A and B are shown apart, each in its own frame.
Chain A
């Protein structure tokens, strides 16, 4: 079994999609000769040509907007926003059109586009390079929002996203780009909308997505040494949200902690806690805790580890919830 990084897995997913469907297009800023600033599209232009894999001008609204026209002309666009912080100029096209086109056309015109956005913090990036934009997209009806946490799952989820008939915002956790995993890329696995239990334990469930899944696993290892066994649930997609898996995990443990990088207020944790209350109130043994970024702009590199949920903060939250 080969070991692959998330970058290599995403690259393979794009390559396989381009090979499998001649209507697939990959475009964005610097995705051609350079292969993208993170090299996710490396080699694709050489292999598939400049018509199917192409650089665009620096025009994020344009990149999102041409997805609509290309889809109407029968193409399957896979667009890259270079960084989370640069995806905001495209929000009008994403919110007003990408998300709504199927609805606006009474179901006649869907836009099977994927917008890939390298997201979240943890790589000592400059400002505007460590944003957690998921809530903007999750709150926009008509979009699916997918966040992989491991290389193999990144491959699987990106392939599923490309095949999806609806627009998918695909948030790639930059800090996991160089993480490695061994296994068969093309192995069957759960689709979009299914969460994954990555570790089982009876004391508490820790719910996370993206790079925070790894951190929660680290916390679980620490806690295990003290005899506290936790379940770690990787959501994998935020829309659809696997409410069933969340409910099942909370019902079996009675305790939950939600972890994300995004600021606390109206972050995914707010929605997840509300769902827990609706699904499993009678099973709760303790208030649900949230471990998130604070409600401040993402900090500079030297402070980002103070901002991001740490193994210690996650562990402490679990201990508090378990001791309640």
Chain B
């Protein structure tokens, strides 16, 4: 079994995989907010599985599943305020759900009706889906620099993976953020695998340890512990708002599914490894904890599941009803003020339509 680099290093954990409390779980969340976290996790997983099915049914082109990473995404996104800005990579649909991004518009990307930003990035404070990994880190830092110049307390959060941390843009972004004291949170979901390459072939030391080299705070957290993820992200947000600059968070989690629907993970990892991580499932853990704490009962969970089922059904209906985008769109958005040579090409290709 391939061990994930830095799994053994110390990390913040408040709830153990069996749901027992091992840290200070009084993280400032009300009972309603704690229930909301579980509701978001349940509906996100249901959505993720539906997306896999939609791809297999030919309704999506390629889809990158996030099962196993619900706590990492939802705990972190939940810690942000409405003015804060998320710069995702391409596997952050659960974070998008938390931010209220229009899911059908989001899935237009995976359906192939439009590119990375089919939803309104500015209104939803959620930048376009970003496939050139790590490039979005620099955008997040730029946005945070702009926020600071405005005297705003809003911060940005960039999601990226363990593989992205090997890119030069990670370094340039982290260094810029630290030098400018930008209110940016660099949130790494270390899910163990960059397609087929395990994280111990990406780096030889925990990612969070790099923070010291940049002059920022680094935190390693159990990425399958939603309360711990929430707590460390909220702390990072508070530091950013207080002018204390960026934070690097490394959330240790695991990609239960393949890299994408086009990937075959059986070629590079053992089912035993996946099974071991299923035992550390973030939803099971959090549900057990909430049941034990008396915050929820079984009826609440059933209610969440039924609600998720209906919600996902609506998304499926809307998504599958989407038609082909007009071909004019290829030309409409390339420039605000398109060159005459482009207009001539448009005319040649499309004529009047």
Contacts and interface: CB of A to CB of B under 8 A. Distances in A.
A102 B142 contact: no
A103 interface: yes
A108 B121 CA distance: 8
A273 to B, nearest CB: 15
A96 interface: yes
A109 B176 CA distance: 23
Contacts of A71: 142
Interface string A80-111: 00000000010011001100111111111110
B341 A73 contact: no
Interface stretch (A39-47, A54-62, A195-203, A224-232): A54-62
A114 to B, nearest CB: 14
Interface string B162-186: 0000001100110110010000000
A89 B168 CA distance: 9
B122 interface: yes
A241 interface: yes
A65 B127 CA distance: 13
A193 B179 CA distance: 39
A103 B115 contact: yes
A240 B172 contact: no
Contact of B335 (A67, A74, A92, A102): A102
Contacts of A107: 332-333
21 contacts: A56-B176, A62-B172, A65-B173, A66-B139, A66-B145, A68-B142, A69-B87, A69-B141, A73-B85, A73-B143, A73-B145, A73-B149, A75-B146, A92-B169, A96-B135, A104-B117, A109-B121, A109-B128, A110-B336, A166-B336, A239-B339
A108 B117 contact: yes
B336 A69 contact: no
A102 B333 contact: yes
B138 interface: yes
Given A57-B176, A57-B179, A103-B115, A69 B335 contact: no
B58 to A, nearest CB: 24
A69 B140 contact: yes
B255 to A, nearest CB: 24
B270 interface: no
B173 A109 contact: no
A109 B122 contact: yes
Contacts of A282: none
Interface of B: 85, 87, 114-118, 120-122, 127-128, 132, 135, 138-147, 149-150, 156, 168-169, 172-173, 175-176, 179, 329, 332-337, 339-341
A70 interface: yes
Nearest to B176: A62
Contact of B341 (A75, A92, A106, A241): A241
Contacts of A141: 334
A188 interface: no
Contacts, number: 147
B103 to A, nearest CB: 16
Given A72-B143, A106-B329, A193 B334 contact: no
A104 to B, nearest CB: 4
A165 interface: yes
Nearest to B154: A73
Given A102-B333, A102-B336, A73 B135 contact: no
Contact of B339 (A66, A68, A100, A240): A240
Contacts of B156: 69
B131 to A, nearest CB: 8
Nearest to A72: B143
A144 B139 CA distance: 21
A106 B118 contact: yes
Given A59-B175, A75-B146, A240-B341, 5 more contacts: A57-B172, A68-B139, A69-B143, A73-B143, A102-B335
Contacts of B334: 102-103, 141-142
Interface string A197-222: 00000000000000000000000000
A305 interface: no
B138 A108 contact: no
B333 A73 contact: no
B339 A65 contact: no
Shortest Cβ-Cβ A-B pairs, 9 listed: A69-B142, A73-B146, A65-B138, A66-B142, A240-B339, A69-B143, A62-B172, A105-B117, A165-B336
